[in-house]
A and B are shown apart, each in its own frame.
Chain A
Amino acid sequence: MTPAPSPPTARAIAHDVLSGALSAEDAARDAFARGDAAQVGPDGLNALLWTDRKRVLEEARELKVEDEKGGDPGLLSGVPIAVKDNIATLSLPTSCGSRILEGYVSPFEATAITRLRNAGAVVIGKTNMDEFAMGSSTENSAYGVTKNPLCRTRVPGGSSGGSAALVAAGMVPIALGSETGGSVRQPAAFCGVVGVKPTYGRVSRYGLVAFASSLDQIGVFGRTVDDAAMALQTIAGRDPMDATTAPVPVLRYTDADGSMMAGVVIGKPKEYFPESLDPRIREKCDRALALFKSLGAEIRDVSLPHTDLAIPVYYILAPAEASSNLARFDGVRYGVRVPGDGLHGTYEATRSRGFGPEVTRRIILGTYVLSAGYYDAYYKKAQEVRTLIADDFREVFTSGVHVLFTPTTPTPAFEIGAKSDPLEMYLSDIFTATANLAGVPALSMPIGRVDGLPVGGQLIASHFEEARMFGAAYALEKALGEEAHR
């Protein structure tokens, strides 16, 4: 099969498979052909870590659509998808980009994967990531750096960089990632695709390897807003296997499609538009806001005054939770075991050999801020300031603002190796970590390019208001047209 010149959307593939014009097996074969053309393997982009073509094609051939949630049967019929390597799948490894889980294959499957497969999706492979999702560039993987498909000397963002790169390269229309501080939205912005972090509690985390449990959420990538909406509405909803999923009904986000924004109030928070912001990114954001206004939306200047505290809060809480969550990787229960002197020696030898530098740094930092004498000064204080950050959002949304619009990142994709200072890397999450701390949904979408590099615009809504967020995203995508990619 010759791959289509322009990669098809998930909706187009599902339509063709349901109508019989295309088999799921050929859809999977086309995806592999597009992946080969884009060199997604270790010698090229290094975005795809694990796949098994023969088994994938067999699974596609045997595809059966089940209507588990009573939604749209076959919404994703035959749609090839890629999955971040920290989400449990049955027939491929789940290594979290780490040596410590090298060769680990889960005996159970993540609920999100089960729901996607029941809707007809075919998992074609697992994607590269920063080790245990700790990073903003996909340079921290034990399996090598992932390259940005739009400029191979630059990072794709992270930690879900492999998923973003595969969607941007055209191999798959949809991929799963995970978010703790911006790990879907930031790579989506850097690679020029759509990335969504749902409300905390919107999507089951059963089968997602935990990093920081009060922040983690599975998120989706799509090349279009519609594809991302299809993916999210498929995986969202209560799951008895994850007590943190909320019993809030899931709307059909694909019904949010509309071109008019009359009556919608878009907030422009001044803290996300500092004087130091790259003027070219500001210009793209201003253009997007002007389009919203032309569609009938009201643009309102607002303030989220504790925004600049998000990075200190995030980089206390996330490593603290990680230091606890990653204690389970001890050489006894999972993956690699490096024998040492006695039980403690084995723990230490396994963990020292298995974890990379960034994971080690965060475990040490997290253990330190939780240790006797420092808990109140760091961890408790950070939890209190987190409340203030969440209150900022609550106040702005109760004042009548429906959706906030901001840049997703302060800069476009940076060069591989450009940020060797950990703190400098952490600061690149400045516009994304707030939504995780507040638990609200947020979406990044392409709004233009600077020197050929994509710029992401971010929409943030109140808890469980994903439909409102998608409505604005559909409208902006339509209004921008090809301008979103030039």
Chain B
Amino acid sequence: MSVTIDDVKHVARLARLGMTDERADQLVAELNRILDHMAVLEGVKTVGVEPASGVGAAGMPLRVDAGPPFPLARPPQRFAPSMRDGFFLVPRLASHEDVGDDA
């Protein structure tokens, strides 16, 4: 599996990262070298091996679905740029129309 410049540009778009052609070219070379090193995994027999969940030996204890109070040291009014009626005010970034063009 070899990464192409189109792959890099596609992935960069998914990750919301701008990418110049020069930087994309560099990343093609770097990613192919890194992924070549990963290829050693292809030869490892993992039939019947469960993928690791990543959670520690004690498992994942679940808390009551009530949620502890969020212990903010300062009230939102002290760190929010702007508030009204208990809501954060943020700049208008977009209309609804331009959201989700490739969602």
Contact = CB atoms under 8 A, between A and B. Distances in A.
Given A330-B16, A371-B11, A311 B101 contact: no
B7 A368 contact: yes
A311 to B, nearest CB: 7
Interface string B51-75: 1111111101111000010111110
A332 B90 contact: yes
A219 interface: no
A452 B31 CA distance: 36
Interface in A411-441: 421-423, 426, 437, 439
Contacts of A351: 15-18
Interface stretch (A43-51, A148-156, A356-364): A356-364
B38 A348 contact: no
Contacts of A463: 56-58
Contact of B41 (A108, A332, A343, A385): A385
Contacts of B11: 364, 367-368, 371
B38 A390 contact: no
B98 interface: yes
B15 A214 contact: no
Contact of A107 (B17, B35, B61, B79): B79
A269 B95 CA distance: 60
A243 B49 contact: no
B34 A422 contact: yes
Contacts, number: 173
B43 to A, nearest CB: 10
Nearest to A246: B58
Contacts of A368: 3, 7, 11, 31
Nearest to B95: A342
A270 interface: no
Interface string B1-41: 10100011001101111110000000100110111011011
Q: Is the interface of A mostly helix, strand, loop or mixed?
A: helix
A382 B74 CA distance: 42
A348 B18 contact: yes
Contact of B73 (A108, A200, A355, A437): A108
Contact of B57 (A308, A355, A382, A439): A439
Contact of B34 (A306, A346, A348, A365): A365
Interface residues of A, number: 70
A309 B44 contact: yes
Contact of B94 (A308, A343, A421): A343
A291 interface: no
B42 interface: yes
Interface in A134-189: none
B70 A108 contact: yes
A347 B93 CA distance: 10
Contacts of A371: 11, 14
A377 interface: yes
Contacts of B74: 90, 107
12 contacts: A214-B53, A312-B41, A346-B93, A351-B16, A352-B17, A364-B31, A383-B52, A385-B49, A386-B52, A387-B46, A388-B49, A439-B56
Interface of A: 90, 105, 107-109, 199-201, 213-215, 240-241, 243-244, 246-248, 306, 308-309, 311-313, 315-317, 323, 327, 330, 332, 342-344, 346-349, 351-352, 355, 360-361, 363-365, 367-368, 371, 374, 377-378, 380-388, 390, 421-423, 426, 437, 439, 463-464
A-B pairs, 9 with minimum CB distance: A214-B54, A383-B51, A343-B94, A352-B18, A384-B46, A201-B56, A386-B52, A246-B58, A347-B16
Given A342-B98, A364-B27, A422-B33, 15 more contacts: A90-B73, A108-B73, A246-B61, A247-B61, A308-B40, A317-B54, A327-B16, A344-B101, A351-B16, A368-B11, A368-B31, A378-B35, A381-B42, A384-B46, A386-B54
